[in-house]
Amino acid sequence: CSNSNIIRFIQVFKWPETVLGDPDGSSRNAALHAVRMIKDEKGPIFVVCNNGCGRSAMFVMLHAILTKLNEKKKVSMSEMLRIVRSDR
């Protein structure tokens, strides 16, 4: 089919819903690992989590921030949050 798309599915098991009470940093490490897995992907990224805002929003925000930093651009956290919220 000429209109078909290939979707790469990545499931992260060790990423709790909240980072509160995460003394060993496993939640942070899971988030970084997920972003690194798609670092070189081209095209759109489809992100889903259990409730649609927790880990998904964190993933999208982290990916956007790291992309800007890799491009040596200034990062405004409040601006990034505004963009992520408006693009949901």
Contact 35, 59 (CB under 8 A): yes
Residue 62's contacts (CB-CB under 8 Å, 6 or more residues apart) are 31, 32, 35
Distance (Å, whole) CA 66 – CA 74: 11
pLDDT digits (tens, 9 = 90+) for 34-82: 888 887 777 777 777 776 667 777 888 888 888 889 899 998 889 888 8
- What's the domain range around 14? 1-88
Structurally, the chain folds into a number of domains equal to 1
The per-residue pLDDT for 52 is 64
8 vs 21, which has greater pLDDT?
8
Q: Give me Rg for the CA atoms of the chain.
A: 14
